[in-house]
Structure 1
Amino acid sequence: MPDIRTRQVNKGTIKSLDKVATSADRMRATYTKTKERTESMRESDDNSPASYATERISNAMDTGSRESISVSEKATRVLVSNAKVKIKERRISNGYSATAEASVKTAEETATIKTRGFANKRQMTRRISNAKATNATRQYANDMLVLTAEERMRKAAKEVAKETKNAVRVSAKAIKVAIASTESLVKAITAGGWITIIAIVVCCLFGAAFYMFGDESSGNYTPVSAQVEAYSAVIGEYADKYGIGEYAELIKAVMMQESGGKGKDPMQASESGYNKKYPRKPGSIRDPEYSISCGVQKVVASLKASKCKSPLDMSRIRLALQGYNFGNDYISWAIKRDGGYTVENALIFSDQQAKKHGWTFYGDKQYPAHVLRYYPYGSYNYGVGNGVITKVATQQLGNKGGHKFWSWYGFNGRVEWCACFVSWCANQCGYIKSGTITKFAAVQSGISWFKSKGQWQRPGYRPKSGDIIFFDWDGDNNADHVGIVKSCNGRTITTIEGNSGDICRRRTYTVGGAVIYGYGVPKY
């Protein structure tokens, strides 16, 4: 395409066009640098499993980056072409009618570019139908008519630049995550063999597609903080030293849960038996590297006690993680009792130890879930489930008077304790600490919290186990009772409620029944 002369056009327009014209070049440069970094991480043996997996990941990034660059280049070429036509028309015509006619055409083409060029297929499918796209195009044209020619061009150029910049940001972020994980993946593949290769490649391809095209709100994985990432080299060094180099990402997830990478003892290893340098009391370690050394040794011991086979052996990783938090006595106890980790046996062990030592609580009952949300290979498979809270609630059936619940909440005398009961059960599961469910004693406070989180459903909703059900007995549009959904078969809802006639008991209701006010739907 020949150069477009823009000397007679306003300087602001020139800058906009220049910015658009260079967007694709920036994307290409980003892609090239990323590819070079990935290439440099490959091992010399091209036939090794590690090299094979790295090649697959690199090829996937190549394809995605080229497609992103192609979209940007196409959009840029069309916009600049339209701008050239517009400039020419302004030079040969002083009549507003000609300018307006060209403006409509330019606006329609620009809007078409926006709907067809910038959104990927899945985004377009979710956001708009073909009919809505047509209406959007017409509306865009109408809006553009009221602007001057110079303003139209500047607005279109800025919109293309903005969309291109967003595309670059998303692509670069996804590629950066892939690069950061490559080294750990290579180690995991080497340790696990061809079965691990297949599993990891499938996980990576699925995860990449979900990250690029999925709904962020439905994802469970949360990247570790910048403070934790800053320790990557040290973590890798000690993981290699103690023979678990392939578990570096898991160690990062543990650090993220323990401290977020902050403080002098980021692995919270001061009370560990591997701490031989400082007093074994909370926060005594004053050297982050020493903390990592102690913490990694503790992870090693837990993985070995759990007989963990690979970074994808999620059932044994859960067992090891709960052992890291409770101590390895839990691991042998859980294996003997249930063959391994379960949410229920973690609750039982915690309660037993708290009673034995005379403490109010013992450890983190949901530690595996809390750690695995930061673990990229297990974030879609940590199996906490929404039935945990119902197990806790079931154990309280028959409790009369609710003293256990309202006194725990902090009341000195009896209150209407249905909400205290729900909060107590949530706390026993670790859901209040994790922010899954709020602590509330007033029914309306619970409703307001769920609504503020976008986790509210109307009375006609078909609930799931673990949902929080709210009732309006008087039909005055004011909720006055709350319970926990145990199950729903499509027609009948079974609940467990505290303060149902001053007793904790089971109740049943019809889906969509008149007394149901609505549901809080926690993201377990």
Structure 2
Amino acid sequence: MPDIKTKNVVKGTVKTIDKSAVAAERMKDAYIRTKDKAEHGVYSAEGSAEEYAADRISGCADTVTREAVRQFDKQGRRGVQSTKNNISKAKEHFRQRQAQKSIKTLERGEKTIKQTAKSTGKSTIKTAKGSVKTAQKTVKTAEQTARTAIKTSEQAAKVAQKTAQASAKAARTAALAAKATAKATVATIKAAAKATVAAVKAIIAGTKALISAIAAGGWVAVVIIIVVCLIALIVGSCFGIFFSGEDSGSSMTMQSVVQEINTDYQTQLDTTKTNISYDVLEMSGSRAVWPEVLAVYAVKTTTDPNNPQDVATMDASKKAILKDIFWQMNTISSRTETKTEEIITETDDGHGNIVETKTTVTRTYLYISVAHKTAGEMADKFGFNADQRKQLAELLAEENRSMWSAVLYGIYTEDGQIVSVALSQIGNVGGQPYWSWYGFDSRVEWCACFVSWAANECGYIDSGIIPKFAGCTNGVQWFKDRGQWIDNSATPSPGMIIFFDWNNKGSSGPQDGLSDHVGIVERVEDGIIYTIEGNSGDSCRENHYAVGHYEFLGYGVPAY
């Protein structure tokens, strides 16, 4: 409430305003009197002393009037400014006194002001207290709202995190599954370009003399002749084999014929095992790789002196030639042997002692052996000349490996290299090359050894793309540890590593979530997954399953 100093400032302001008002009132009266006296002479002519006197009076009246107005304005301005200053001082002082929260009482004589001030002060204080309480309630409400908002935000964050993790996992799965497909488009162009370059190199080498001979005939003639020769040479040369993957109208392609021959080969192996009774099966040997078979076929067919044919197309007669060469390069032989052996059986006598029992048994062993000839051996057999051997070497050059993959399996990607290597091993039996390479001295279950061997052939183990593993569970863990694993519901891409969890139906236990077998995904067509697996019936063979087959455990996704 106002104190004594504030009251004095207000009184001073009121007095100043009163003085200004009195002065103004006096000036107003003087102005009115002077004006009344001068009214009769303001417009009179100055033809006499009276007129002059009247004019002077009128002039004085004007002067007095102006002076009165000026004084009034001056005093009024001063009064107003003084009032403003006093009010500002009062406000400032009042604010200072309020800030210090020091309230003093006014003098007893000014009870009305005091009571009014007290009443006003009390109301203000009550209002302030109410405002404080309201503010406190508002703060509490805000705190509760904030806590609720924080709790909701935390819950939303957790949900968002889980959603983000699920989305990220799905994105990784989709990305991993789609990676090979994305690469395939680019690699297809590269493979086609390489094939064209290889063919053109051979053609250019063979047409240098022709160009030199006809150069004098003009550039137009040279160009026309070169184009015609290029087309004829591509189709007719041994390099035409790199363009044999397309159907030329006979409903046959190189891929379909190769698959047919592979099936015949596997059927012969299975027939041998089915038609002979045995107790123990032992298989050994390996089959000729397809690039060597096709290279021999291409050179022999295009350079046959009696009936040269192109190898860019496929028909029944050429299929017969290819089959004949395949079986000349591969042979399957079998024999049986009966052995009388002593078997030691260990049993528990019921008292914690192991008892060995020796039993003599007679067993029949079936030995199946696969043997093959190399391309060099076939060149000797067919009597290839120096030029034919040179063509054979050029076809089998290391830089053409990817083109063979395209011809044989329709594989155009770098990650298809392991598929190409694996497919070249189809028909190999016994697994000796794979488990012995791994470091074992005798036969083991060799499906993982086979996958590791194929990966090593591509340089993928040294580069850390695929692990070297002999146990399937170790391979699964390697891919899972690196986030390179997708489950069995996914559709895989060529080059992925497929892991199985067999349903053994009681023989050695049902599915247990652990991998029992492993292979390599070859391709996926019409909802069917084609695989190459080692140790499938103790041989390397192509198998196929429906997408999402219940015995799939999942897929390792190499970062090719």
For the aligned pair, the TM-score class normalised by the smaller chain equals: 0.3 to 0.5
- Structure with the bigger RCO (C-alpha within 8 Å, sep 6+) is 2
Could you tell me the TM-score, scaled by structure 2's length? 0.31
Structure in which a larger fraction of residues adopt strand? 2
Query: For the pair shown, which has the larger CA radius of gyration, 1 or 2?
Result: 2
